[in-house]
Amino acid sequence: MDPTETAHPRSTAAISKQQSFDQADLEQGLSLRDYINILTKRRLTVFTIFSIVFVISLVMGLKQDVPRYTSIATILLERNFGINNSGLGTSYYWDPEFLPTQTEIIKSKKVALKLVDNLGLDVKYRNHFLNPDPPEESILASAIHFISGLLPAASDNEENQATGTASAISPDPAAEKDIIADIIKANIDVQPVKETRVVNILYTDTDPQLARLITDALVQAYIDENLEIKLSGTKQSLKWMTSKAEDERKKLEEAERKLQEYMREHNLVTLENRLAIFPEKLSQFSTELSSAESKRKQLESLRGQISNLKGSSQALESIPFFAENATLQSLRDQILKAEQRIKELSQKYGPKHPSMIKAVEDRDILIREKDQEIRRIIESVQTSYELARSQEKNLTDLLNSTKEDLLDVNERFIQYSIMKREVESSRALYEALTSSLKQASVTEESQNVNIWVMHDASLPQSPSNQKLRRNLFIGLILALASGIGIALLVEYLDNTLKSVDDIEKRYGLTVLGGVLQAKKNDPIENIISDNNQSAIAENYRIIRSSLLLSSADHPPQLILITSMMSQEGKTSTTINLARTLAQVSDSVLIIDADMRKPRVHQILNLDNSAGLSSFLSGNISETVILATHDEKIKVIPAGPVPPNPAELISSQRMKLLLKELAKEYSFIIIDSPPLSHLADGMILSTLVDGTVLVARSGKTTFEEFSAGIKKLQDVNPHILGVILNAIVPRFAGLHSYHDYYEYYSKDRGNQAPK
């Protein structure tokens, strides 16, 4: 058989399928099962990231200083606006700045200083604030402190505020009081309850009893401070209001006098009543004008329709206004009955019969009456239109006249209004000053803010800064999300072949089989001879079976083994495949056609001083065929590296050599250079019965594999299939057939080798 004359219809279909694989299928979204498969494949990544993030979260959650306790007091705040004009009680309105202002007062330095004075904190609790005892650390706390020391530390200011300590202690009592007030101020928190006037006041300290004591004292200090704010402002306002009220009284008297003179001069006694009537008239006239204008437009539209259809009574009857007329409806019914009568009589009598003549005359009379009624309606519409237009004009004139009268009155009323507003303004200001003066004198010691204590400060039972359960839960969620997210990101960025499905779905090529990844200390080149019952050996036997069944008429005899890139396992595949074929055939020949970087002779420990390159270049007359440890397997080594391997392979001498060798050996397996950047593999693919492509799981990228397939399209080889090397079981999918190999190899391990 001449390998150069072999047709390859199957390879053409496979490459064509690869060219037209369903791109839309690759771009569609992943299903839930796909995500589960990805997470299962990347479970080591998920577990690693999960563990790292969870440990960091746990350490951060356990990273604590001294246990701190928070006491809470609840108060109700309301603005005090005094008694309203009706004397019914206090008035309230929404003030968005009220609660924020009161919050700042509670947290102010002045309130903190008042609290220090009231409790004598600078004397009784001086050591608590200025010389705190260092806390004792447990073994766990020491370990956490060591680990947390590796993490970014908080600033000195934040640490001092959190622990309630001072960075510097001054012997001056006033300075010590300020330091203690600053510490207290830093540990105060105010939390308004949403959509209420209720406010929670919180104070945090290392001593729960002291936290409650300071919280209660803080509420009282805030109440005292509000009263002082009120008193300090009242004394100044009383003096100012007294002098201001006297000035405003004089202005009011002068304004009232001028107003009376103006009213007397322009006779404005009844002016306000007239101003009240004009707007009502304008509104009434405007409404009537709108109604008249609408009616006129309707009649004008109807008039236009009548004008357009005036020549046809039947067309006029289609207008809704005519169709709804009761008289026309009655006449139309009578005409219809008359026509039915004529139709009935015409079946019995001729047109000149007296009954027929009378029936026709009756119908004609009804038709004339209908026409007269239509003309009457047309005249009625015209008359109504003229009346509506006249009414609209009259209302327009009346409205304009009323507007002119109103403008005239308004002109005189403007000055009156100005003077009256001046009087009212002066009176209002004077009355306000008088009322405020009286109220300030009576309620001099009242507060601007009403404060009710709804709940006294509570005694904290547990530290507020130790929420281990919440921290663990947050850490668990964060770690799980991080692990899953990074695993999906790694999967998205990984563009290498991982499983058999990647090749079959994407390229439409037959996968002869997959080979599991070998252990580091277990060389895969000798796996058949060293461990014939292993899972990997079984992989190669499965590949052998697939290869023998890859052609319809007979198994391929000349087989080329190549790959897209180097170090993808084509040489080890060549040797292991030859050994498995030797188990079912008489003779197998390995040809090392990789004359650039030959490795077959190294693996089989053979002499490479002469070989294929020597024969093809004419340096020797006969091919060097070497024997191996297996008597069924022979090898033609690559020989010395020539300067022009591609030219030697494409020579006529190579074709004749393969033709002669095919007569002697059952199978000839050729190990060729990779397809990338080299033409050797493509040339050899045209000289054999079939080509086997080798890809390495996790190393061969989709781009590299696609580039190799495109290069093969130029020579149209017969591609027998693909072998995927170094498959990691966890990357092969949840139900990979490699699980069967492992199970099968364990079962065969208890049997004697065949």
Whether 456 is in a domain gets the answer yes
Whether 74 is in a domain gets the answer yes
CATH assignment at residue 318 = 1.10.287
Q: Is there a contact between 606 and 644 (Cβ–Cβ < 8 Å)? A: no
Domains held by the chain: number? 4
3-state class (DSSP) for residue 394: helix
Whether 146 is in a domain gets the answer no
Q: Minimal CA–CA distance to 642: which of 618, 626, 669?
A: 618
Give pairs for 435-443: CB < 8 Å, separation 24+: 436/237, 436/241, 437/238, 437/241, 437/242, 437/245, 439/82, 439/83, 440/234, 440/237, 440/238, 440/241, 441/238, 443/82
| 400 φ/ψ angles, rounded to the nearest 5 degrees | -65, -40
Q: What is the DSSP string of 343-384?
A: HHHHTTS-TTSHHHHHHHHHHHHHHHHHHHHHHHHHHHHHHH
The pLDDT, as a whole number, for residue 468 is 63
Residues 563 and 643 in one domain: yes
Q: Hey, which residues does 667 pair with through a beta bridge?
A: 588
Distance CA 637, CA 28 (A): 49
Residues 368 and 345 in one domain: yes
Whether 712 is in a domain gets the answer yes
| 20 φ/ψ angles, rounded to the nearest 5 degrees | -115, 30
Residues 430 and 460 in one domain: no
| 186 φ/ψ angles, rounded to the nearest 5 degrees | -70, -25
Whether 230 is in a domain gets the answer yes
Residues 621 and 713 in one domain: yes
E strand spans, 14-79: 69-79
Q: How many CB atoms lie within 10 A of CB 385?
A: 18
In this prediction the pTM is 0.47
Q: Hey, which residues does 670 pair with through a beta bridge?
A: 560, 591
Rg (CA), the chain: 53
Residues 610-657 pLDDT 10s: 999 999 999 888 889 999 988 999 999 999 999 999 999 999 999 999
Whether 708 is in a domain gets the answer yes
Q: How far is CA 735 from CA 289, 395, 401, 492, in A?
A: 86, 92, 96, 21
CATH assignment at residue 618 = 3.40.50.300
Residues 294 and 433 in one domain: yes
Q: Is there a contact between 640 and 621 (Cβ–Cβ < 8 Å)? A: no
Q: How many CB atoms lie within 10 A of CB 95?
A: 10
Q: How far is CA 467 from CA 58, 235, 463, 470, in A?
A: 11, 51, 8, 6
How many whole angstroms from its chain centre is CA 83?
54
Whether 11 is in a domain gets the answer no
The pLDDT, as a whole number, for residue 744 is 46
With b for 16 or more beta-carbon neighbours within 10 A and e for fewer, the 466-476 pattern comes to eeeeebeeebe
Give the chain's count of helices (H) and strands (E).
29, 12
What stretch of H or E contains 723? strand 719-727
Report the amino acid identity of residue 300.
E
3-state class (DSSP) for residue 696: strand
CATH assignment at residue 115 = 3.30.70.1130
Q: Is there a contact between 594 and 675 (Cβ–Cβ < 8 Å)? A: no
Distance CA 250, CA 255 (A): 9
Distance CA 422, CA 266 (A): 18
Distance CA 569, CA 562 (A): 9
Q: How far is CA 56 from CA 147, 166, 178, in A?
A: 9, 30, 39
Q: Hey, which residues does 563 pair with through a beta bridge?
A: 694
The pLDDT, as a whole number, for residue 137 is 47
Residues of the chain with pLDDT under 50: 1-28, 85-91, 135-140, 143, 151-170, 445, 734-738, 740-741, 744-745, 747-754
Q: CA-based angle 561:567:572, to the nearest 5?
A: 50
DSSP H helices, 617-737, are 645-649, 652-661, 680-685, 702-713
The pLDDT, as a whole number, for residue 364 is 82
Extract the tokens encoding 248: 């405003």
68 HSE (CA, 13 A, CB side): 15
Residues 368 and 451 in one domain: no
Strands 690-696 and 558-563: parallel
User: In the block, which residue shows the tokens 């070998």?
Assistant: 518
E strand spans, 475-618: 511-516, 558-563, 588-592
Distance CA 224, CA 201 (A): 16
Give pairs for 318-326: CB < 8 Å, separation 24+: 321/377, 321/381, 322/374, 322/377, 325/373, 325/377
Q: Minimal CA–CA distance to 341: which of 375, 366, 370?
A: 366
Q: Minimal CA–CA distance to 50: which of 360, 508, 483, 496?
A: 483
Distance CA 741, CA 656 (A): 41
Residues 182 and 279 in one domain: no
Residues 616 and 701 in one domain: yes
DSSP H helices, 494-569, are 500-507, 527-530, 535-548
Residues 131 and 212 in one domain: yes
Helix 109-119 with 173-186: angle, nearest 10 deg: 120
Which residues lie below 8 Å from residue 532, measured CB to CB, with a gap of 6+? 753
How many whole angstroms from its chain centre is CA 58?
28
3-state class (DSSP) for residue 522: coil
Residues 167 and 302 in one domain: no
Q: Length of the chain, please?
A: 754
Distance CA 532, CA 541 (A): 10
Which residues lie below 8 Å from residue 119, measured CB to CB, with a gap of 6+? 125, 213, 214, 217
User: In the block, which residue shows the tokens 């020949």?
Assistant: 589
How many whole angstroms from its chain centre is CA 294?
55
Strands laid side by side in the 69-79 sheet: 188-192, 198-205, 69-79, 449-455
Owning domain of residue 486:
43-63+469-492
3-state class (DSSP) for residue 667: strand
User: In the block, which residue shows the tokens 């405003």?
Assistant: 248
Residues 49 and 179 in one domain: no
Distance CA 154, CA 498 (A): 46
Whether 542 is in a domain gets the answer no
Task: Give 215's DSSP letter.
Answer: H
Q: Minimal CA–CA distance to 572: which of 543, 610, 551, 612?
A: 543
Residues 501 and 386 in one domain: no
Distance CA 586, CA 631 (A): 10
